[in-house]
Chains A and B, each alone.
Chain A
Amino acid sequence: MNRLLTVAEMTLRELLRRRGVLALMLLLPLTFYLIRRDAYVGQSVRSLMLGISWAVSTAALFATGAARELEPRLRLAGYRPHHLYLGRMLGLWAAGLAIALPFFLIVVFDAPGLRHGGVAAAMLCCVAIAPPLGILIGALLPRELEGTLLLLVIVTVQMLIDPAGTGAKLTPFWSSREIGTWAVDHTDDGYLTRGVAHGLVVTVGMIIAVAAVSSIRLRRRRHLRHLPVG
Protein backbone atom coordinates (compact mmCIF):
# COMPACT_ATOMS: atom_id res chain seq x y z
CA MET A 1 0.00 0.00 0.00
CA ASN A 2 2.87 2.32 0.82
CA ARG A 3 4.34 1.79 -2.65
CA LEU A 4 1.02 2.54 -4.31
CA LEU A 5 0.55 5.74 -2.32
CA THR A 6 4.14 6.85 -2.87
CA VAL A 7 3.73 6.55 -6.65
CA ALA A 8 0.39 8.41 -6.43
CA GLU A 9 1.95 11.14 -4.33
CA MET A 10 4.90 11.60 -6.69
CA THR A 11 2.57 11.69 -9.71
CA LEU A 12 0.59 14.46 -8.04
CA ARG A 13 3.71 16.35 -7.00
CA GLU A 14 5.06 16.26 -10.55
CA LEU A 15 1.77 17.51 -11.95
CA LEU A 16 1.32 20.27 -9.40
CA ARG A 17 4.79 21.63 -10.15
CA ARG A 18 3.97 22.04 -13.84
CA ARG A 19 2.10 25.26 -13.36
CA GLY A 20 1.80 26.01 -17.07
CA VAL A 21 0.28 22.59 -17.65
CA LEU A 22 -2.11 23.07 -14.75
CA ALA A 23 -3.22 26.44 -16.09
CA LEU A 24 -3.89 24.92 -19.52
CA MET A 25 -5.70 21.97 -17.93
CA LEU A 26 -8.08 24.48 -16.38
CA LEU A 27 -8.25 26.69 -19.46
CA LEU A 28 -9.27 23.86 -21.77
CA PRO A 29 -12.57 22.94 -20.04
CA LEU A 30 -13.27 26.61 -19.35
CA THR A 31 -12.95 27.39 -23.05
CA PHE A 32 -15.24 24.49 -23.92
CA TYR A 33 -17.77 25.81 -21.42
CA LEU A 34 -17.66 29.46 -22.42
CA ILE A 35 -17.55 29.04 -26.19
CA ARG A 36 -21.26 28.10 -26.39
CA ARG A 37 -22.41 29.74 -23.19
CA ASP A 38 -24.36 32.54 -24.89
CA ALA A 39 -26.62 30.01 -26.64
CA TYR A 40 -27.82 26.94 -24.74
CA VAL A 41 -26.37 26.10 -21.33
CA GLY A 42 -26.99 22.39 -21.80
CA GLN A 43 -24.61 22.30 -24.75
CA SER A 44 -22.04 24.23 -22.71
CA VAL A 45 -22.22 21.68 -19.90
CA ARG A 46 -21.82 18.76 -22.31
CA SER A 47 -18.84 20.49 -23.93
CA LEU A 48 -17.39 21.10 -20.49
CA MET A 49 -17.44 17.34 -19.84
CA LEU A 50 -15.49 16.78 -23.01
CA GLY A 51 -13.01 19.50 -22.04
CA ILE A 52 -12.39 17.90 -18.64
CA SER A 53 -11.99 14.46 -20.24
CA TRP A 54 -9.54 15.76 -22.79
CA ALA A 55 -7.48 17.72 -20.25
CA VAL A 56 -7.15 14.82 -17.79
CA SER A 57 -6.47 12.24 -20.54
CA THR A 58 -3.71 14.42 -21.93
CA ALA A 59 -2.17 14.84 -18.49
CA ALA A 60 -2.25 11.06 -18.05
CA LEU A 61 -0.69 10.53 -21.48
CA PHE A 62 2.23 12.82 -20.72
CA ALA A 63 2.66 11.49 -17.16
CA THR A 64 2.98 8.01 -18.66
CA GLY A 65 5.56 9.22 -21.18
CA ALA A 66 7.58 10.97 -18.47
CA ALA A 67 7.64 7.80 -16.34
CA ARG A 68 8.65 5.47 -19.18
CA GLU A 69 12.38 5.51 -18.37
CA LEU A 70 11.86 5.53 -14.63
CA GLU A 71 9.46 2.62 -14.31
CA PRO A 72 11.87 -0.21 -15.26
CA ARG A 73 14.23 1.07 -12.56
CA LEU A 74 11.42 1.09 -10.04
CA ARG A 75 10.62 -2.50 -11.01
CA LEU A 76 14.21 -3.41 -10.14
CA ALA A 77 13.85 -1.47 -6.89
CA GLY A 78 11.02 -3.75 -5.75
CA TYR A 79 7.83 -2.35 -7.28
CA ARG A 80 5.33 -4.65 -8.97
CA PRO A 81 3.61 -3.45 -12.19
CA HIS A 82 0.31 -2.84 -10.38
CA HIS A 83 2.01 -0.51 -7.89
CA LEU A 84 3.15 1.62 -10.79
CA TYR A 85 0.03 1.84 -12.97
CA LEU A 86 -2.48 1.92 -10.12
CA GLY A 87 -0.40 4.44 -8.19
CA ARG A 88 -0.20 6.69 -11.22
CA MET A 89 -3.92 6.29 -11.80
CA LEU A 90 -4.67 7.20 -8.18
CA GLY A 91 -2.64 10.38 -8.48
CA LEU A 92 -4.35 11.31 -11.74
CA TRP A 93 -7.82 10.56 -10.35
CA ALA A 94 -7.05 12.96 -7.48
CA ALA A 95 -5.83 15.59 -9.95
CA GLY A 96 -8.92 15.06 -12.11
CA LEU A 97 -11.22 15.58 -9.15
CA ALA A 98 -9.36 18.76 -8.23
CA ILE A 99 -9.83 20.06 -11.77
CA ALA A 100 -13.49 19.05 -12.03
CA LEU A 101 -14.55 20.52 -8.68
CA PRO A 102 -14.30 24.23 -9.59
CA PHE A 103 -16.18 23.59 -12.84
CA PHE A 104 -18.91 21.80 -10.96
CA LEU A 105 -19.28 24.84 -8.71
CA ILE A 106 -19.38 27.11 -11.77
CA VAL A 107 -22.22 25.05 -13.22
CA VAL A 108 -24.09 25.04 -9.90
CA PHE A 109 -24.02 28.83 -9.70
CA ASP A 110 -24.29 29.58 -13.42
CA ALA A 111 -27.03 27.11 -14.33
CA PRO A 112 -29.32 26.61 -11.34
CA GLY A 113 -32.08 24.80 -13.25
CA LEU A 114 -30.11 21.59 -13.90
CA ARG A 115 -30.00 18.26 -12.09
CA HIS A 116 -26.72 18.95 -10.35
CA GLY A 117 -26.38 15.42 -9.03
CA GLY A 118 -26.36 14.32 -12.65
CA VAL A 119 -23.76 16.91 -13.57
CA ALA A 120 -21.56 15.62 -10.74
CA ALA A 121 -22.07 12.00 -11.86
CA ALA A 122 -21.18 12.88 -15.45
CA MET A 123 -18.05 14.66 -14.30
CA LEU A 124 -17.11 11.66 -12.14
CA CYS A 125 -17.40 9.45 -15.23
CA CYS A 126 -15.04 11.79 -17.12
CA VAL A 127 -12.55 11.81 -14.24
CA ALA A 128 -12.75 8.03 -13.79
CA ILE A 129 -12.24 7.16 -17.46
CA ALA A 130 -9.73 9.80 -18.58
CA PRO A 131 -6.64 8.64 -16.57
CA PRO A 132 -6.73 4.98 -17.65
CA LEU A 133 -7.45 6.09 -21.23
CA GLY A 134 -4.43 8.43 -21.26
CA ILE A 135 -2.21 5.84 -19.57
CA LEU A 136 -3.32 3.16 -22.05
CA ILE A 137 -2.55 5.34 -25.05
CA GLY A 138 0.78 6.36 -23.48
CA ALA A 139 1.69 2.72 -22.88
CA LEU A 140 0.75 1.61 -26.40
CA LEU A 141 2.25 4.58 -28.25
CA PRO A 142 5.59 5.50 -26.69
CA ARG A 143 6.02 8.64 -28.81
CA GLU A 144 4.04 11.52 -27.36
CA LEU A 145 3.14 13.09 -30.71
CA GLU A 146 1.42 9.91 -31.89
CA GLY A 147 -0.35 9.57 -28.56
CA THR A 148 -1.55 13.16 -28.62
CA LEU A 149 -2.87 12.80 -32.16
CA LEU A 150 -4.71 9.59 -31.29
CA LEU A 151 -6.28 11.30 -28.30
CA LEU A 152 -7.31 14.16 -30.58
CA VAL A 153 -8.97 11.67 -32.93
CA ILE A 154 -10.88 10.09 -30.04
CA VAL A 155 -12.08 13.45 -28.70
CA THR A 156 -13.05 14.67 -32.17
CA VAL A 157 -15.07 11.52 -32.84
CA GLN A 158 -16.66 11.87 -29.44
CA MET A 159 -17.57 15.47 -30.22
CA LEU A 160 -19.00 14.94 -33.68
CA ILE A 161 -20.63 11.53 -33.56
CA ASP A 162 -24.41 11.24 -33.26
CA PRO A 163 -24.91 10.32 -29.59
CA ALA A 164 -28.05 8.33 -30.43
CA GLY A 165 -26.23 6.12 -32.94
CA THR A 166 -24.90 2.69 -32.08
CA GLY A 167 -21.31 3.70 -32.80
CA ALA A 168 -21.42 6.39 -30.13
CA LYS A 169 -21.58 3.72 -27.44
CA LEU A 170 -18.12 2.61 -28.48
CA THR A 171 -16.64 5.99 -27.66
CA PRO A 172 -15.11 6.19 -24.17
CA PHE A 173 -16.96 9.22 -22.86
CA TRP A 174 -20.44 8.39 -24.09
CA SER A 175 -21.49 7.89 -20.45
CA SER A 176 -20.89 11.51 -19.53
CA ARG A 177 -22.84 12.64 -22.60
CA GLU A 178 -25.78 10.42 -21.65
CA ILE A 179 -25.81 11.42 -17.98
CA GLY A 180 -25.26 15.04 -19.01
CA THR A 181 -28.36 14.89 -21.20
CA TRP A 182 -30.33 13.53 -18.24
CA ALA A 183 -29.00 16.38 -16.09
CA VAL A 184 -29.55 19.29 -18.48
CA ASP A 185 -32.59 18.20 -20.53
CA HIS A 186 -34.44 16.46 -17.68
CA THR A 187 -34.94 13.34 -19.79
CA ASP A 188 -36.16 10.02 -18.40
CA ASP A 189 -34.08 7.93 -15.98
CA GLY A 190 -33.06 5.53 -18.72
CA TYR A 191 -30.38 8.03 -19.76
CA LEU A 192 -28.94 8.01 -16.25
CA THR A 193 -29.01 4.22 -15.97
CA ARG A 194 -27.43 3.67 -19.38
CA GLY A 195 -24.81 6.32 -18.69
CA VAL A 196 -23.79 4.96 -15.30
CA ALA A 197 -23.61 1.40 -16.65
CA HIS A 198 -21.51 2.53 -19.63
CA GLY A 199 -19.23 4.55 -17.36
CA LEU A 200 -18.64 1.59 -15.05
CA VAL A 201 -18.01 -0.86 -17.88
CA VAL A 202 -15.61 1.50 -19.69
CA THR A 203 -13.71 2.39 -16.48
CA VAL A 204 -13.26 -1.26 -15.49
CA GLY A 205 -12.41 -2.22 -19.08
CA MET A 206 -9.80 0.53 -19.33
CA ILE A 207 -8.20 -0.46 -16.03
CA ILE A 208 -8.01 -4.09 -17.15
CA ALA A 209 -6.46 -3.02 -20.46
CA VAL A 210 -3.89 -0.84 -18.67
CA ALA A 211 -3.12 -3.72 -16.31
CA ALA A 212 -2.58 -6.09 -19.24
CA VAL A 213 -0.36 -3.73 -21.24
CA SER A 214 1.68 -2.63 -18.20
CA SER A 215 2.16 -6.19 -17.00
CA ILE A 216 3.51 -7.17 -20.40
CA ARG A 217 5.73 -4.09 -20.71
CA LEU A 218 7.13 -4.40 -17.20
CA ARG A 219 7.17 -8.20 -17.08
CA ARG A 220 9.97 -10.24 -15.62
CA ARG A 221 11.87 -11.55 -18.62
CA ARG A 222 12.17 -15.28 -19.01
CA HIS A 223 15.89 -15.27 -19.74
CA LEU A 224 16.64 -13.80 -16.31
CA ARG A 225 16.88 -16.11 -13.34
CA HIS A 226 17.44 -14.95 -9.79
CA LEU A 227 19.41 -17.16 -7.47
CA PRO A 228 19.45 -16.92 -3.70
CA VAL A 229 22.56 -15.16 -2.46
CA GLY A 230 25.08 -17.77 -1.45
Chain B
Amino acid sequence: MNADDWLRAFAAELHHRRVRPDDARHVVAEAATHLRDGGGDPTVVFGPPGRYAAAIAESVGAAPPPAPSAPGPVRLHARGITKRYGRRTVLRDAGLTVRAGQIAAVVGANGCGKSTFLRICAGLVSPDAGEVTVGSRLGYCPQQGGTADFLLPDEHFVLVGAGLGLARGPARRAGRAAARQLGWDTPGDVLTRHLSGGTRQKLNLTMSTLTEPDVLLLDEPYQGFDRGTYVDFWDQLGRLRDAGRAIVVVTHLLDRLDRVDLVLDLTPAGGTDRNGDAGWGGRA
Protein backbone atom coordinates (compact mmCIF):
# COMPACT_ATOMS: atom_id res chain seq x y z
CA MET B 1 0.00 0.00 0.00
CA ASN B 2 1.55 3.35 -1.02
CA ALA B 3 1.32 6.50 1.08
CA ASP B 4 -1.65 7.96 -0.81
CA ASP B 5 -3.68 4.74 -0.52
CA TRP B 6 -2.81 4.45 3.15
CA LEU B 7 -3.86 8.05 3.82
CA ARG B 8 -7.14 7.53 1.97
CA ALA B 9 -7.87 4.39 3.95
CA PHE B 10 -6.88 6.14 7.17
CA ALA B 11 -9.22 9.09 6.46
CA ALA B 12 -12.07 6.66 5.73
CA GLU B 13 -11.41 4.79 8.98
CA LEU B 14 -11.45 8.05 10.94
CA HIS B 15 -14.77 8.91 9.33
CA HIS B 16 -16.14 5.46 10.22
CA ARG B 17 -15.13 6.04 13.82
CA ARG B 18 -16.96 9.37 13.78
CA VAL B 19 -13.86 11.41 14.59
CA ARG B 20 -14.81 15.10 14.21
CA PRO B 21 -14.03 16.29 10.66
CA ASP B 22 -11.65 19.04 11.88
CA ASP B 23 -9.73 16.60 14.05
CA ALA B 24 -9.61 14.06 11.22
CA ARG B 25 -8.28 16.62 8.72
CA HIS B 26 -5.63 17.70 11.17
CA VAL B 27 -4.47 14.15 11.96
CA VAL B 28 -4.39 13.11 8.30
CA ALA B 29 -2.36 16.24 7.41
CA GLU B 30 0.09 15.46 10.19
CA ALA B 31 0.50 11.86 9.02
CA ALA B 32 0.99 13.04 5.42
CA THR B 33 3.68 15.51 6.50
CA HIS B 34 5.41 12.82 8.54
CA LEU B 35 5.41 10.41 5.62
CA ARG B 36 6.59 13.04 3.16
CA ASP B 37 9.46 14.17 5.40
CA GLY B 38 10.47 10.84 6.90
CA GLY B 39 9.54 8.47 4.06
CA GLY B 40 9.09 4.76 4.69
CA ASP B 41 6.22 2.34 4.35
CA PRO B 42 3.19 3.89 6.15
CA THR B 43 2.08 0.45 7.33
CA VAL B 44 5.44 0.04 9.05
CA VAL B 45 5.55 3.63 10.35
CA PHE B 46 1.95 3.86 11.65
CA GLY B 47 0.59 0.33 11.37
CA PRO B 48 -2.61 -0.66 9.53
CA PRO B 49 -4.94 2.33 8.88
CA GLY B 50 -7.77 0.80 10.89
CA ARG B 51 -5.67 0.21 13.97
CA TYR B 52 -4.08 3.66 13.88
CA ALA B 53 -7.48 5.29 13.35
CA ALA B 54 -8.86 3.34 16.33
CA ALA B 55 -6.04 4.65 18.49
CA ILE B 56 -6.67 8.21 17.32
CA ALA B 57 -10.42 7.88 17.90
CA GLU B 58 -9.69 6.59 21.38
CA SER B 59 -7.54 9.60 22.20
CA VAL B 60 -9.52 12.46 20.59
CA GLY B 61 -13.00 10.97 21.06
CA ALA B 62 -15.93 10.72 18.67
CA ALA B 63 -18.46 13.36 17.71
CA PRO B 64 -21.67 13.16 19.75
CA PRO B 65 -24.63 11.69 17.91
CA PRO B 66 -26.96 14.30 16.41
CA ALA B 67 -29.74 15.46 18.69
CA PRO B 68 -32.89 13.51 17.95
CA SER B 69 -35.73 15.43 16.40
CA ALA B 70 -39.20 15.29 17.94
CA PRO B 71 -40.80 11.88 17.31
CA GLY B 72 -43.78 11.76 14.97
CA PRO B 73 -46.96 9.68 14.94
CA VAL B 74 -47.05 6.09 16.16
CA ARG B 75 -45.84 3.71 13.47
CA LEU B 76 -45.71 0.46 15.42
CA HIS B 77 -47.78 -0.49 18.40
CA ALA B 78 -47.46 -4.02 19.77
CA ARG B 79 -49.37 -4.95 22.88
CA GLY B 80 -50.01 -8.03 24.97
CA ILE B 81 -47.79 -10.22 22.80
CA THR B 82 -47.64 -13.74 24.19
CA LYS B 83 -46.05 -16.65 22.40
CA ARG B 84 -45.63 -20.25 23.46
CA TYR B 85 -43.71 -23.05 21.80
CA GLY B 86 -45.25 -26.18 23.26
CA ARG B 87 -45.28 -25.69 27.01
CA ARG B 88 -42.51 -23.11 26.97
CA THR B 89 -43.66 -19.51 27.10
CA VAL B 90 -41.19 -17.44 25.12
CA LEU B 91 -42.97 -14.09 25.35
CA ARG B 92 -45.52 -12.99 27.92
CA ASP B 93 -47.49 -9.79 27.52
CA ALA B 94 -44.70 -7.98 25.68
CA GLY B 95 -45.39 -4.56 24.23
CA LEU B 96 -43.65 -1.80 22.33
CA THR B 97 -44.68 1.50 20.80
CA VAL B 98 -42.39 3.18 18.29
CA ARG B 99 -43.05 6.51 16.63
CA ALA B 100 -41.80 7.91 13.36
CA GLY B 101 -38.25 9.16 13.87
CA GLN B 102 -37.42 6.74 16.66
CA ILE B 103 -35.08 3.78 16.99
CA ALA B 104 -36.03 1.05 19.45
CA ALA B 105 -33.59 -1.65 20.52
CA VAL B 106 -34.90 -5.07 21.56
CA VAL B 107 -32.38 -6.63 23.92
CA GLY B 108 -32.22 -9.65 26.17
CA ALA B 109 -30.47 -12.93 26.81
CA ASN B 110 -30.20 -15.68 24.21
CA GLY B 111 -33.50 -17.46 23.70
CA CYS B 112 -35.62 -14.79 25.39
CA GLY B 113 -37.74 -14.28 22.28
CA LYS B 114 -36.16 -11.24 20.62
CA SER B 115 -36.32 -12.68 17.11
CA THR B 116 -39.76 -14.16 17.73
CA PHE B 117 -41.03 -10.76 18.87
CA LEU B 118 -39.69 -9.16 15.70
CA ARG B 119 -41.16 -11.87 13.48
CA ILE B 120 -44.52 -11.36 15.17
CA CYS B 121 -44.24 -7.61 14.52
CA ALA B 122 -43.42 -8.40 10.86
CA GLY B 123 -46.46 -10.67 10.61
CA LEU B 124 -44.35 -13.74 9.84
CA VAL B 125 -45.36 -15.60 12.99
CA SER B 126 -48.71 -15.54 14.78
CA PRO B 127 -48.72 -14.88 18.52
CA ASP B 128 -50.89 -16.82 20.92
CA ALA B 129 -52.22 -13.50 22.18
CA GLY B 130 -51.80 -9.83 21.43
CA GLU B 131 -51.94 -7.62 18.40
CA VAL B 132 -49.68 -5.38 16.37
CA THR B 133 -50.61 -2.21 14.54
CA VAL B 134 -48.11 -0.94 12.00
CA GLY B 135 -47.73 1.72 9.33
CA SER B 136 -48.58 0.89 5.77
CA ARG B 137 -45.23 -0.48 4.71
CA LEU B 138 -42.93 -2.85 6.60
CA GLY B 139 -39.30 -3.72 5.95
CA TYR B 140 -37.76 -6.77 7.58
CA CYS B 141 -34.15 -7.93 7.67
CA PRO B 142 -33.58 -11.41 9.11
CA GLN B 143 -30.54 -12.48 11.09
CA GLN B 144 -29.44 -14.71 8.23
CA GLY B 145 -30.87 -16.17 5.05
CA GLY B 146 -33.42 -14.18 3.11
CA THR B 147 -31.28 -14.01 -0.01
CA ALA B 148 -30.97 -16.29 -3.04
CA ASP B 149 -27.58 -17.95 -3.46
CA PHE B 150 -27.65 -18.09 -7.24
CA LEU B 151 -28.81 -14.53 -7.92
CA LEU B 152 -26.65 -11.42 -8.29
CA PRO B 153 -27.14 -8.52 -5.84
CA ASP B 154 -28.63 -6.44 -8.67
CA GLU B 155 -31.16 -9.19 -9.36
CA HIS B 156 -32.21 -9.09 -5.72
CA PHE B 157 -32.86 -5.37 -6.11
CA VAL B 158 -34.89 -6.00 -9.28
CA LEU B 159 -36.88 -8.73 -7.53
CA VAL B 160 -37.69 -6.60 -4.50
CA GLY B 161 -38.29 -3.53 -6.66
CA ALA B 162 -40.80 -5.39 -8.85
CA GLY B 163 -42.90 -5.99 -5.75
CA LEU B 164 -43.28 -2.23 -5.44
CA GLY B 165 -43.91 -1.80 -9.14
CA LEU B 166 -40.44 -0.37 -9.78
CA ALA B 167 -38.89 -0.85 -13.21
CA ARG B 168 -35.55 -2.65 -13.40
CA GLY B 169 -33.31 0.37 -13.90
CA PRO B 170 -34.67 2.43 -10.99
CA ALA B 171 -34.73 -0.65 -8.72
CA ARG B 172 -31.10 -1.40 -9.52
CA ARG B 173 -30.06 2.20 -8.99
CA ALA B 174 -31.99 2.48 -5.72
CA GLY B 175 -30.39 -0.76 -4.46
CA ARG B 176 -26.90 0.35 -5.36
CA ALA B 177 -27.43 3.74 -3.74
CA ALA B 178 -28.72 2.11 -0.54
CA ALA B 179 -25.75 -0.28 -0.55
CA ARG B 180 -23.32 2.62 -0.87
CA GLN B 181 -24.72 4.05 2.37
CA LEU B 182 -23.20 0.97 4.01
CA GLY B 183 -19.89 1.53 2.26
CA TRP B 184 -20.60 -1.30 -0.20
CA ASP B 185 -20.13 -0.94 -3.95
CA THR B 186 -22.21 -3.80 -5.29
CA PRO B 187 -20.27 -5.95 -7.74
CA GLY B 188 -22.02 -6.51 -11.05
CA ASP B 189 -21.19 -10.16 -11.57
CA VAL B 190 -20.67 -11.91 -8.22
CA LEU B 191 -23.28 -14.41 -7.15
CA THR B 192 -24.63 -14.01 -3.64
CA ARG B 193 -23.24 -17.38 -2.61
CA HIS B 194 -19.74 -16.04 -3.26
CA LEU B 195 -20.22 -13.00 -1.01
CA SER B 196 -18.72 -13.06 2.46
CA GLY B 197 -21.10 -13.40 5.41
CA GLY B 198 -20.85 -9.71 6.24
CA THR B 199 -21.38 -8.61 2.64
CA ARG B 200 -24.37 -10.88 2.34
CA GLN B 201 -25.84 -9.17 5.39
CA LYS B 202 -25.26 -5.82 3.69
CA LEU B 203 -27.33 -7.15 0.80
CA ASN B 204 -29.96 -8.33 3.26
CA LEU B 205 -30.09 -4.94 4.91
CA THR B 206 -30.15 -3.11 1.59
CA MET B 207 -33.11 -5.22 0.46
CA SER B 208 -35.07 -4.27 3.57
CA THR B 209 -34.48 -0.54 3.13
CA LEU B 210 -35.11 -0.60 -0.64
CA THR B 211 -38.86 -0.64 -0.12
CA GLU B 212 -38.66 2.65 1.82
CA PRO B 213 -40.66 1.21 4.71
CA ASP B 214 -42.42 3.23 7.38
CA VAL B 215 -41.33 0.62 9.89
CA LEU B 216 -38.00 -1.13 9.60
CA LEU B 217 -37.53 -4.34 11.59
CA LEU B 218 -33.92 -5.53 11.84
CA ASP B 219 -32.93 -8.79 13.48
CA GLU B 220 -29.25 -8.47 14.41
CA PRO B 221 -28.46 -7.47 10.85
CA TYR B 222 -24.80 -6.70 11.52
CA GLN B 223 -23.61 -10.33 11.73
CA GLY B 224 -20.21 -10.47 10.07
CA PHE B 225 -19.84 -6.70 9.69
CA ASP B 226 -16.36 -5.30 10.17
CA ARG B 227 -16.03 -2.36 12.54
CA GLY B 228 -16.22 0.26 9.81
CA THR B 229 -19.41 -1.22 8.37
CA TYR B 230 -20.86 -1.54 11.86
CA VAL B 231 -20.35 2.21 12.35
CA ASP B 232 -21.79 2.86 8.86
CA PHE B 233 -24.78 0.74 9.84
CA TRP B 234 -25.58 2.88 12.86
CA ASP B 235 -24.99 6.04 10.82
CA GLN B 236 -27.42 4.70 8.25
CA LEU B 237 -29.98 4.00 10.97
CA GLY B 238 -29.52 7.58 12.16
CA ARG B 239 -30.23 8.88 8.66
CA LEU B 240 -33.31 6.67 8.35
CA ARG B 241 -34.55 7.88 11.72
CA ASP B 242 -34.02 11.49 10.65
CA ALA B 243 -36.03 10.70 7.52
CA GLY B 244 -38.95 9.75 9.76
CA ARG B 245 -38.69 5.97 9.75
CA ALA B 246 -39.59 3.95 12.83
CA ILE B 247 -36.85 1.38 13.42
CA VAL B 248 -36.77 -1.66 15.67
CA VAL B 249 -33.43 -3.41 15.93
CA VAL B 250 -32.81 -6.64 17.80
CA THR B 251 -29.37 -6.56 19.32
CA HIS B 252 -27.28 -8.14 21.99
CA LEU B 253 -24.49 -5.61 21.56
CA LEU B 254 -25.13 -2.89 24.07
CA ASP B 255 -22.38 -0.50 23.00
CA ARG B 256 -24.72 1.53 20.77
CA LEU B 257 -27.67 1.92 23.07
CA ASP B 258 -26.76 5.60 23.39
CA ARG B 259 -27.95 5.96 19.79
CA VAL B 260 -31.40 4.50 20.34
CA ASP B 261 -34.51 6.16 21.75
CA LEU B 262 -36.17 3.16 23.36
CA VAL B 263 -35.00 -0.11 24.81
CA LEU B 264 -37.25 -3.13 25.20
CA ASP B 265 -35.61 -5.68 27.46
CA LEU B 266 -37.12 -9.14 27.02
CA THR B 267 -34.96 -10.80 29.65
CA PRO B 268 -37.33 -13.08 31.58
CA ALA B 269 -37.93 -12.72 35.29
CA GLY B 270 -35.08 -14.32 37.17
CA GLY B 271 -32.67 -13.53 34.35
CA THR B 272 -30.10 -10.82 34.55
CA ASP B 273 -30.18 -7.79 32.35
CA ARG B 274 -27.76 -4.94 31.97
CA ASN B 275 -29.61 -2.73 34.45
CA GLY B 276 -30.13 -5.45 36.97
CA ASP B 277 -33.91 -5.15 36.78
CA ALA B 278 -36.04 -7.87 35.38
CA GLY B 279 -39.32 -8.12 33.63
CA TRP B 280 -40.62 -10.89 31.44
CA GLY B 281 -41.72 -9.30 28.21
CA GLY B 282 -40.82 -5.98 29.77
CA ARG B 283 -42.02 -2.77 28.26
CA ALA B 284 -39.97 0.00 26.78
For residue A42, which residues in chain B have a CB less than 8 angstroms away from its CB?
none
For residue A17, which residues in chain B have a CB less than 8 angstroms away from its CB?
150, 191
Contact A224 B132, beta carbon cutoff 8 Å: yes
Residue of A nearest to B73 (CB): A230
Contact B132 A18, beta carbon cutoff 8 Å: no
- Asked, given contacts A226-B136, A227-B133, A227-B134, whether A77 binds B164 with beta carbons under 8 Å apart, the answer is yes
Segment with Cβ contacts to B, from A7-15, A104-112, A162-170: A7-15
Bin the interface of chain B by size. Answer: 35 or more
Contact A6 B158, beta carbon cutoff 8 Å: yes
**CB-contact partner of B163 in A3, A225, A227, under 8 A:** A3
Q: How far is the CA of A225 from the CA of B79 in the complex (A)?
A: 12
For residue B164, which residues in chain A have a CB less than 8 angstroms away from its CB?
77-78
Determine if B198 is an interface residue (Cβ-Cβ < 8 Å).
Answer: no
Determine if B127 is an interface residue (Cβ-Cβ < 8 Å).
Answer: yes
- Asked, given contacts A69-B142, A74-B163, A76-B139, whether A222 binds B126 with beta carbons under 8 Å apart, the answer is yes
Residue of A nearest to B78 (CB): A223
Q: How far is the CA of A76 from the CA of B123 in the complex (A)?
A: 9
- Asked, given contacts A2-B162, A3-B162, whether A73 binds B131 with beta carbons under 8 Å apart, the answer is no
For residue B6, which residues in chain A have a CB less than 8 angstroms away from its CB?
none
Determine if B105 is an interface residue (Cβ-Cβ < 8 Å).
Answer: no
Q: How far is the CA of A73 from the CA of B140 in the complex (A)?
A: 7
Number of A-B contacts (CB under 8 A): 101
- Asked, given contacts A2-B162, A13-B151, whether A229 binds B132 with beta carbons under 8 Å apart, the answer is no
Residue of A nearest to B135 (CB): A229
Give B39-51 as 1s and 0s: 1 = Cβ < 8 Å from A's Cβ atoms.
0000000000000
Contact B158 A67, beta carbon cutoff 8 Å: no
Interface residues of B in 64-106 (CB under 8 A from A): 73
Determine if B55 is an interface residue (Cβ-Cβ < 8 Å).
Answer: no
Contact B159 A223, beta carbon cutoff 8 Å: no
- Asked, given contacts A74-B159, A76-B138, whether A14 binds B211 with beta carbons under 8 Å apart, the answer is no
For residue A79, which residues in chain B have a CB less than 8 angstroms away from its CB?
163
Shortest distance in angstroms between A46's beta carbon and chain B's nearest beta carbon? 33
Interface residues of B in 104-152 (CB under 8 A from A): 120, 122-127, 130-136, 138-140, 142, 145-151
Determine if B165 is an interface residue (Cβ-Cβ < 8 Å).
Answer: yes
Contact B162 A6, beta carbon cutoff 8 Å: yes
Q: How far is the CA of A66 from the CA of B134 in the complex (A)?
A: 29
Q: How far is the CA of A77 from the CA of B125 in the complex (A)?
A: 17
Residue of B nearest to A230 (CB): B73
Contact A73 B207, beta carbon cutoff 8 Å: yes
Q: How far is the CA of A206 from the CA of B178 in the complex (A)?
A: 40
Contact A18 B135, beta carbon cutoff 8 Å: no
For residue B127, which residues in chain A have a CB less than 8 angstroms away from its CB?
223
Contact A14 B140, beta carbon cutoff 8 Å: no
Determine if A220 is an interface residue (Cβ-Cβ < 8 Å).
Answer: yes
Q: How far is the CA of A15 from the CA of B130 in the complex (A)?
A: 41
Contact B214 A73, beta carbon cutoff 8 Å: no
For residue A224, which residues in chain B have a CB less than 8 angstroms away from its CB?
123, 131-134
Q: How far is the CA of A78 from the CA of B130 in the complex (A)?
A: 25
For residue A13, which residues in chain B have a CB less than 8 angstroms away from its CB?
150-151, 155
Contact B136 A14, beta carbon cutoff 8 Å: no
Shortest distance in angstroms between A139's beta carbon and chain B's nearest beta carbon? 16
For residue B136, which residues in chain A have a CB less than 8 angstroms away from its CB?
226-229
Contact A66 B162, beta carbon cutoff 8 Å: no
Contact B163 A221, beta carbon cutoff 8 Å: no
- Asked, given contacts A10-B151, A66-B148, whether A223 binds B130 with beta carbons under 8 Å apart, the answer is yes
Interface residues in chain B, defined as those with a beta carbon under 8 Å from any beta carbon in chain A: 73, 120, 122-127, 130-136, 138-140, 142, 145-151, 155, 158-160, 162-165, 191, 207-208, 210-211, 214
Interface residues in chain A, defined as those with a beta carbon under 8 Å from any beta carbon in chain B: 2-3, 6-7, 10, 13-15, 17-18, 66-67, 69-70, 72-74, 76-79, 220-230
Q: What are 13 contact pairs spanning A and B, CB under 8 A?
A: A3-B162, A6-B162, A10-B158, A14-B150, A66-B148, A67-B148, A70-B147, A72-B140, A73-B146, A77-B210, A78-B164, A223-B130, A225-B134
The 4 A-B residue pairs with the shortest CB-CB distance, nearest first, are A77-B163, A78-B163, A69-B145, A224-B123
With A10-B155, A223-B123 given, name 8 new contacts (CB 8 A). A14-B151, A17-B150, A69-B142, A70-B147, A74-B160, A76-B139, A223-B130, A227-B134
